[in-house]
Copies of this chain bind each other. A is one copy, B any other.
Amino acid sequence: MDIHDYAQINPPQRLLMGPGPINADPRVLRAMSSQLVGQYDPAMTHYMNEVMALYRALFRTENRWTMLIDGTSRAGIEAVLVSSIRPGDKVLVPVYGRFGHLLCEIARRCRAEVHIIEVPWGEVFTPDQIEDAIKRVRPRLLLTVQGDTSTTMLQPLEQLGAICKQYGVLFYTDATASFAGNPLETDAWGLDAVSVGMQKCLGGPSGTSPITLSPQMEAVIRRRKCVEAGIRTEAHQDGEDEMIWSNYFDLGMIMDYWGPERLNHHTEATSALFGARECARLILQEGLDNTIARHQLHGEAMLHGIQAMGLEIFGDVKNKMSNVLGVIIPDGINGDRVRKLMLDDFGIEIGTSFGPLHGKVWRIGTMGYNARKDCVMQTLTALEAVLHHLGFRSPQGAALQAAWDRYGNGSH
């Protein structure tokens, strides 16, 4: 290799309007470029405590254990699952898209006995369907996905906490795709654990995963306590339940690292923490309700624009996440060719789809820093132009007008 072939990093300018990752807010990138401090520096532990408080506000919870897992959103999922599922435990997973399958997959690797209920892609479950399955399976945990980007659907969770409580079931949701763009009430909805990622509505880069754990979930995890040999002292005592079969994802140890004992575990990914702190700070400055409303506004403007172009929407629109949209690729149009022209000639990325929807549906996101009017208008314009170029006829300017109408300046 010749090192001179490796230039300074200089990624091309992209407007990321897919299902995530999206462009990070520049203020988050600037926070991440701050110089480091030591992992036990008072400044660092203060920042860690601040991050806990900021994410409590975002998760709408009083949960003490609200913290970051150093890895992508999938790391947060696995940390919760491997720390709470004992081998042989029954779990119930309502699957309505790819990320439900992912929960099954991870639970299986935790040696859970996995029970699945399914609805067709594009639909969600009623509380009754889930309650019936709980009565039948009697799981120890209910594992849900709040927003499955693979189908763009948003599973209503409001009523599930009471059902879980009635049957003594621990209630988890993966809210990576939906968080901060749609309502989520950890405490009011009776959630025992939530994990999310940065690269969607939070407006940061993938790489750290905020989670929150209820006191009940904490107790479950504490019963599996196992302090590692290299740092354990006589004062440390193991729990009565089977140990957690991961060190990196042992939430008991991660609590002891974030808690007052500051017991060494990993070396906190400081830059990612700085980024996560700034994401939360920006949203709370805007006001979480305002952030959610902003996603609603721009998501609807995009939706109306796409519909006005004569394109059809995938799935049940009334159960859609606000921040992402499945667009059925019209007959005679090559979906990948459209995406390539959008990327190459306009610098705009829209998403393809997984599994059964691959080649049939584009996914268009309006989230985080890109939940903005200019992003919506640019994307609609470019898509209309590309589709027109490839022979798909739509009323000229109708998409833009529909979006303008939604923004309330339709008289332009």
Contact = CB atoms under 8 A, between A and B. Distances in A.
Interface in A48-72: 50, 53-54, 56-57, 70-72
A1 interface: yes
Contacts of A106: 247-248
Contact of A75 (B71, B228, B284): B71
A349 interface: yes
Contacts of A244: 109
A355 interface: yes
B43 A35 contact: no
Interface string A92-135: 00000011111011100111000000000000000000000000
Interface in A244-287: 244-250, 264-272, 274-275, 277-278, 281, 284-285
A30 interface: yes
A56 to B, nearest CB: 8
Q: In the complex this chain forms, how many copies of it are found?
A: 2
Interface in A74-103: 74-75, 78, 82, 98-102
Contacts of A190: none
A44 B10 CA distance: 11
Contact of A109 (B205, B247, B274, B284): B247
Contact of A74 (B21, B39, B44, B266): B266
A147 to B, nearest CB: 15
* Majority secondary structure of chain A interface residues (helix, strand, loop or mixed): loop
A401 interface: no
A75 B248 contact: yes
B12 A31 contact: no
Interface residues of A, number: 96
A98 B230 contact: yes
A75 B69 CA distance: 11
B101 A228 contact: yes
B29 A272 contact: no
Interface in A1-59: 1, 3, 6, 8-14, 16, 18, 20-24, 26, 29-39, 41, 43-44, 47, 50, 53-54, 56-57
B3 A248 contact: no
B230 A101 contact: yes
What 4 pairs between A and B have smallest CB-CB spacing?
A: A101-B230, A207-B269, A33-B33, A98-B230
